[in-house]
Chain A
């Protein structure tokens, strides 16, 4: 157990819908990262937050947005969902920005 929690574990929804994925970092970690992993694919970096502020952006679609709250938990919002958005979404956290990251168990999103 990495200490990073993610909810929900599984999410099944329909095209066009909007969902919110939640992540709580390890105690003491200020950085949160979001990744997308499609079937048999690598890890695609989406976005990074540090102590509530956006710090780095990857290949995140305009339909996706995220934020980190004062209690350091983070939410990833996915809207106007498409079939291709079906994937595992991982959250990771670290003490130092860009260094040792610890991943949560992931949220498996299925868009039907």
Chain B
């Protein structure tokens, strides 16, 4: 089955700096890659996603890039703010009747 590895497990950045979280996946048939943000004790929230026919997608300070050849995708957060502090999960899916496989999460701390 699909295996998703996520790095780093923890990340501390100064407010205003950029943060990058990387994930690799094993199944070349995966075609959908969402990113979720989870604040302590709360539900995961979809923040951005990308499909395999697109190499990059941006939404304000957040961007995701996908390298299908290398089977890895990354989340980029620019101009980080304290409210960006949370656990971020990447995931991969083949859609359809296939489950979504999540990475192990990255705890991001933005230091004011």
Contacts and interface: CB of A to CB of B under 8 A. Distances in A.
Interface of A: 2, 33, 42-43, 45, 48, 50, 55-58, 90, 96-106
Given A45-B101, A98-B100, 4 more contacts: A2-B43, A33-B100, A90-B43, A106-B43
Interface residues of B, number: 23
B54 interface: no
Given A42-B105, A48-B99, A98 B94 contact: yes
Most chain B beta-carbon contacts within 10 A, residue among A98, A100, A105:
A98
A99 B102 contact: no
Given A43-B89, A45-B102, A97 B43 contact: no
A99 B32 contact: yes
A26 to B, nearest CB: 12
Interface of B: 32, 34, 36, 42-46, 49, 89, 93-105
B28 to A, nearest CB: 16
Given A42-B89, A43-B102, A48-B99, A90 B94 contact: no
B22 to A, nearest CB: 16
B95 to A, nearest CB: 4
